[in-house]
Amino acid sequence: MADIIQLLPDNIANQIAAGEVIQRPASAVKELLENAADAGATEIKLIVSDAGKALIQVIDNGKGMSETDARMAFERHATSKIRNIEDLFRIKTMGFRGEALASIAAVAQVELKTRRAEDELGTYIEIENSLVTKQEPCACAPGTSISMKNLFFNVPARRNFLKSNAAEMRHIVDEFIRVAMAFPGIFFSMSSNGQELFHLEAGSLKQRIVQVLGSGYNAKLVSVNEETDYMNIYGFVGKPETARKTRGDQYFFVNNRFIKSAYLNHAVNTAFDEMIAKDSFPSYVLYIDLDPSQVDINVHPTKQEIKFEDEKIIYAFVQAAVKHALAQFSIAPSLDFTLNAEIQGLDAVSKPFTTDQKDAASSSNLFKTFTQKNQAHFIEKNEKTDLKHWKDFFTSPAQEQNNAQRSLPQQLQTVEPRPRALHVLPDTTLLQLHNTYIIASSNSGFLLVHQQLAHERILYERYGIAAHGQQMATQQSLFPVTLELAGADAALLTDLLPDLLAIGYHVEPFGNNSFVIQGIPADVTPGNEKNAIELLIEQFKHFSSDIKFSKREKLIRCMARQQAIKAGQTLSQKEMLVLVEELFTCSSPNVTPTGSPTYLEFKEDYLDRMFGR
């Protein structure tokens, strides 16, 4: 019987390895930018076309490579950063595994131009499918220029799984910003399809943060700087007013390497306890320097998740450093005992209390009731008393009903009754329990309706109809609101604009990472447009589900969850009635989009059995 185990050809082995390192265009961008930074460059330029699918080019003015090094760089496990096993535990550079360029060469068409400063001529290499197709001397500037074209051209299945250009561009911008943040002393630029998106001059860390996150942060950053024998932590946190509904402006770097750590993020959040709302996230750019032997960065292919030798010490240091910074810069909340200038200017404060005014006040019945003996038991019976108009503070029942109608949420003011299986008894009084549940008598017992989940189902079906053809009405904003986002969030919102328009949000791009909210859905109360969009982006980014929903489906679910009236909100009789009526006109009134029940039905015979009848 013939042997069946065979060695894979190099090009196939490289393609398999590439699947771990190069998952999308942004993965290649990260590796190439980190290599440029490791080469000692002071200027790094990133050029992309077609969201990196057609071209990714990184140009640096680093130390360049010799002819032999240029050829060797594309071999698997070839690296200049590791000589022995001990080096793995004291890594201070960025890329280090020696697989990045080999992986890129396995799934793209690569062109390399490189020259050392001491060499007269550089080296030009073309590689396709892991094979060198051309190598020759060339004239070029000192440093390295590497271009990868037609990503996954030889793995069409992988190419088909790439997302839309806007989505892939968002990931590329993410990676670019992370490397640019790690090296503020290096000039970075980024161009996409011939248009420059970023031009970041070399400067201080604060200058780089303001360049990337926007000038609004210039006066809203608090410096963090703590040095110990074990570790150093430095950087900036945003003042509480910069807290946002999205996690976009949060960056942790360990030994200049961007990391994701929910554990350390929690340390920063707890340092902001009682300074920001619970559903908001603080902004920060923090750098941790510690002995490389105390951290293992090779636990994840992207090297964004790392393992500390003692996480609890790092957690305590981070939390203490942020708390100390906030206290040092008097950010912690305090009572203000100074009198407002406007109050000081009032007649009652600035002008003297004349004798005539004093006599008039002391002669009034109201003054007497508070100065006579046993005044707590004294009630003036005289019809002419000053207290006779106390009833005017309260509205009549008719006025109360009108006020309730005016305060009714717009999305609950109209209902078109349609046939339904369950019926709430007419002319019945609904009861709200704990400002969360609605108790309604039905034709067979009673219903216990969860007001938030019920409204979520109503809005989900309404937005679903709008998103699939019948566009919702938009109310134009009298004063359009400008929204500034981080680069990645801006790319995401750009991708969502057509779907947002379908459900009534009219948002237009307005310069670099800025948008103008021109209109909102007709049934949404104006005044909270900015927070609504920010929260929508946050929910969309962290949409968790085992099922792969379409982009539009995610958006509809997020919108329904966001706009639904919340548990704890007091509703009037009319609001409760409209809510229950609309729920039972839905196609699936009994569950939310996520499968939670919207109501429970208690039938009469079940109630009888409970009481032994």
pLDDT over 70 (residue 17):
no
Residues 277 and 160 in one domain: no
Judge whether 583 and 437 are in contact, CB under 8 Å: no
Residues 108 and 230 in one domain: no
Q: What is the pLDDT, as a whole number, of residue 344?
A: 52
Q: What is the pLDDT, as a whole number, of residue 512?
A: 75
Judge whether 150 and 54 are in contact, CB under 8 Å: yes
Distances (CA, A) of 222 to 239, 268, 319, 367: 6, 13, 14, 52
pLDDT over 50 (residue 443):
yes
Whether 363 maps to a domain, the answer reads no
Whether 336 maps to a domain, the answer reads no
pLDDT in tens, 214-252: 777 888 899 999 988 888 999 999 888 888 766 768 899
Residues 416 and 504 in one domain: yes
Judge whether 542 and 486 are in contact, CB under 8 Å: no
Q: Which of 130-144, 190-204, 422-436 has the lowest mean pLDDT?
A: 422-436
Confidence of residue 339 (pLDDT cuts 50, 70, 90): very low
Q: What is the pLDDT, as a whole number, of residue 147?
A: 94
Tokens of 593: 């989009």
Tokens of 580: 């229950």
The string of DSSP codes covering 481-502 is: EEEE--HHHHHHHHHHHHHHHH
Whether 488 maps to a domain, the answer reads yes
User: How many folded domains does the chain comprise?
Assistant: 3
Residue at a domain's end among 199, 226, 260: 199
- What dihedral angle (degrees, nearest 10) is formed by the CA atoms of 411, 500, 251, 300? 110
Residue at a domain's end among 272, 301, 328: 328
| CATH code (residue 418) | 3.30.1370.100
Residues 194 and 209 in one domain: no
Residues 191 and 216 in one domain: no
Residue at a domain's end among 184, 199, 214: 199
Confidence of residue 279 (pLDDT cuts 50, 70, 90): confident
Residues 183 and 73 in one domain: yes
pLDDT in tens, 365-407: 666 665 665 555 555 555 555 555 555 544 444 454 455 444 4
Confidence of residue 548 (pLDDT cuts 50, 70, 90): low
Residues 154 and 276 in one domain: no
Residues 297 and 425 in one domain: no
Any idea what DSSP says for residue 471?
Answer: P
pLDDT over 90 (residue 499):
no
Residues 552 and 589 in one domain: yes
Whether 379 maps to a domain, the answer reads no
Q: What number is the average pLDDT over the span 328-334?
A: 57
Judge whether 335 and 246 are in contact, CB under 8 Å: no
| Report field, pTM of the whole predicted structure over 0.85 | no
Residues 135 and 219 in one domain: no
Q: Which range has highest mean pLDDT (11-20, 201-210, 597-606)?
A: 201-210
Distance CA 93, CA 100 (A): 14
Residues 304 and 450 in one domain: no
What is the residue range of 162's domain? 10-199
Whether 473 maps to a domain, the answer reads yes
Whether 400 maps to a domain, the answer reads no
Q: What is the pLDDT, as a whole number, of residue 301?
A: 52
Give me the amino acid identity at 572: S
Whether 70 maps to a domain, the answer reads yes
Q: What is the pLDDT, as a whole number, of residue 48?
A: 95
Whether 5 maps to a domain, the answer reads no
| CATH code (residue 288) | 3.30.230.10
Residues 422 and 492 in one domain: yes
Q: What is the mean pLDDT of the chain?
A: 78
